[in-house]
A and B are shown apart, each in its own frame.
Chain A
């Protein structure tokens, strides 16, 4: 009795929950997966080693200054190409020991990996200590996540899902997005804005045929046909490595249209500090060409005509309205601390999604009806009881999915349908067992009790194994498959409950009413 009361309690609670679902949870709903409503899925990987390299590059400038201050002449200081070590050369003897002291005092995060040389010069290989490098990488990923979230917010996508996966991956789901092209452009551009001088001493053509001078890079300005996207021309520039101003001082960036030039441009505003720097630069380098470089591509390289105060500038170049809009958002939201690469990109067209959900639901209804029909024909009244509990099972599942705000995917619908199969199986097991016991000559009541009791063990065993498969699936699955695992697991638990507890209650009630008449099974 006590046990049955304890069992009835959750029954009542669950039952009322299942029925009052629309009133109790008006706000919680089952979300539709991307495969059902269309949208875009992106898996990005943050190149976090680049963040470490950037950090080292920034240190070079600073270190050079400090070395000069301490009267150590750096004969060479550079980062080893595509690595995370610096090569530094000084005079041997006193400068070398002074340098070691400086490093120890001012740069606890740097360590000397190796030291070689002779009486004239000493060469050091310096690297960031491991913990610090890990820290930089981690914060680069977090910062990238934050920036991407920021950009998406400004782009205006409803219910985006942005998550960190593993150490350096970011998963982005943009349901119902209309412009996947723009979204991708927005998310995977680093958006590092630099103002750098054009090298007017050396010749570009000469640099192209041999190699650029040590303090300059060859960067290109590309002109595209705005309609077809085909590249029309590429102009090489020799740009000084030294960055005079970066996008970090930006306060705003907006897309505007220049009716004189008949082209779009992005106007940018600097904060007080940035504006002062900009004024200083334009004063100092009057009549020189200042290149606006975004992600290593030259947008324009105008000659500075006068000192610019007030901190306004404009980025022109050839871009369409959409590209300009994306660029403005990217600049406003800030640069990514390191570049990202796309590992996975999936877009589902809205019409295909609609098609999928229509068919999924139809197949679900048909499958369920076929099962219901079969149960009534095969088990008569008991089959009808089974159908009632099966129906409850479906309601409970739906309620549970809404409660955890699960995302329903196409495989999820399949999972739903399969769970109906599992729940039916439980009933079949029970009924077959009762039939067996009846054949042995037991009374309906005794047969039903024994049937439920015996079948319960089997049902639990068989369901636990499916649950194990479902949990493993959840652990290792991604996206739609995870949705399948969720519905399957919820369905198994719900079917255990409805078949073993609710169905038995109904059965007992039926038998009591029947008295000694034979059971309709």
Chain B
């Protein structure tokens, strides 16, 4: 069985301008949504406060829940249904990290009273301001440093520029590390963004083109995923950060497989113009790219549909990530290599 004919030859490079435009629009929409919403909507892990997950015996109205929690002195808390609607699960968020003891019991009682429906179970997450700040820093840290490490690996593997890329990563990573160590907390996101921009500029300047292509594609994927979450007003939790990091791994996986073929084809025939080599490589790996993405997508969709409320959003992030990641390795990461066509030939 075959979905994609071996002699397929789509002119991907030919439509790269159109593809860039599409990407640009998506990224812009994401960024605008993030600006309008004043950053991503953080979950309790990153914002601090109280998050309560309640499972009822049957469906209840949100206003009834609101009444019940108002009686507990949690006014101003937001209530929304959580996960899959048939699960009758609801989430209550309050900015107060109330440490009152025995919240579980009083919640059950009060909500039973206001809704008239039995509460099956309650989970409570309370994260204090200090802990949430730490988690936020750690998450940013994780994403930033994994990008830096990947930069080194790609430059090393594809261009044998281990030392150069390591030096560059150290030059950027070490100052950032110290800035974070000394807890100049304000503008942390800004510092990380600046560091990323600087590292991209350095990649360009030092002609670490494979790394540049891959990292641009990754940032593209992450921005769009976070942007879609922001558009749909879904919380960014610890699990979503895990999903984002997996997306990094996956998207890079796709990119590397195309790069690998490009490297191989250059070795075979280094006279052919770069656009042609890239196009041929993309077409040759197209069957694998679509197959793998499809299979992984199947797995993730099964998680999304059947995995229950907690996994639901995680799987959703993965679905976006896989689709965008596959797209970006074909339309973003590879065409960027053409930027240097004159020198490579």
Contact = CB atoms under 8 A, between A and B. Distances in A.
Interface of A: 35, 43, 45, 180-181, 184-185, 229, 341-352, 355-356, 358-360, 362-363, 366-368, 370-371, 374, 377-380, 410-411, 413-414, 417-418, 420-422, 424-425, 428-429, 432, 435-436, 439, 454, 457-458, 461-466, 468-470, 472-473, 475-481, 484-485, 488
14 contacts: A346-B126, A349-B120, A351-B55, A352-B122, A363-B308, A366-B306, A371-B295, A410-B308, A432-B285, A432-B287, A462-B252, A462-B253, A468-B153, A473-B245
Contacts of B303: 363, 367, 414, 417
Interface string B134-159: 01001101100110011001100100
Most chain A CB within 10 A, of B104, B292, B318, is at B292
B284 interface: yes
Given A481-B238, A488-B246, A439 B153 contact: no
A368 B303 CA distance: 11
A367 B311 CA distance: 14
A480 B296 CA distance: 22
A432 B159 CA distance: 26
A374 B295 contact: yes
Nearest to A41: B125
B308 A476 contact: no
A339 to B, nearest CB: 13
B250 interface: yes
Interface in B237-257: 238-239, 241-242, 245-246, 248-250, 252-253, 256-257
Given A367-B302, A465-B150, A476-B141, A180 B104 contact: yes
A411 B242 contact: yes
B126 A344 contact: yes
B1 interface: yes
A343 B246 contact: no
Most chain B CB within 10 A, of A358, A417, A458, A465, is at A465
B22 interface: no
B299 interface: yes
A429 B286 CA distance: 11
Contacts of B127: 343-344
A318 to B, nearest CB: 16
Contacts of A377: 1
A342 B121 contact: no
A429 B249 contact: no
Contacts of B198: none
B288 A432 contact: yes
Contacts, number: 223
A478 B305 contact: no
Q: Interface size bucket, B side?
A: 35 or more
Contact of B260 (A352, A358, A362, A457): A457
B123 A462 contact: no
Contacts of A352: 53, 55, 120-123
Contacts of A356: 308, 310-311
Given A461-B256, A475-B142, A484-B242, A355 B308 contact: yes
B164 interface: no
A465 B306 contact: no
Nearest to B249: A466
Given A350-B121, A477-B238, 20 more contacts: A341-B128, A342-B128, A344-B131, A349-B121, A352-B53, A367-B302, A370-B298, A410-B308, A411-B311, A418-B300, A428-B288, A432-B285, A458-B256, A465-B154, A465-B252, A466-B252, A469-B146, A469-B249, A476-B139, A481-B239
Contact of B131 (A43, A180, A181): A43
Contacts of A473: 142, 146, 242, 245
A348 B260 contact: no
Given A346-B126, A410-B310, A466-B252, A477 B292 contact: no
A185 B101 contact: yes
Given A348-B123, A371-B295, A481-B239, A476 B307 contact: no
Contacts of B175: none
Nearest to B315: A414
Contacts of A422: 253
Given A352-B123, A363-B307, A465 B253 contact: yes
Given A343-B130, A359-B311, A366-B306, A429 B257 contact: yes
B256 A462 contact: yes
B295 A428 contact: yes
Contacts of B242: 411, 473, 477, 481, 484-485
A488 B245 CA distance: 11
A181 to B, nearest CB: 4
A476 B141 CA distance: 8
Contact of B253 (A180, A378, A414, A425): A425
Given A352-B123, A370-B299, A461-B256, A410 B311 contact: yes
Given A414-B311, A465-B150, A424 B6 contact: no
B1 A470 contact: no
B124 A476 contact: no
B126 A425 contact: no
A360 B239 CA distance: 15
A328 to B, nearest CB: 18
A181 B307 CA distance: 30
Given A370-B299, A461-B256, A229 B53 contact: no
Contacts of A45: 130
B239 A421 contact: no
A130 to B, nearest CB: 19
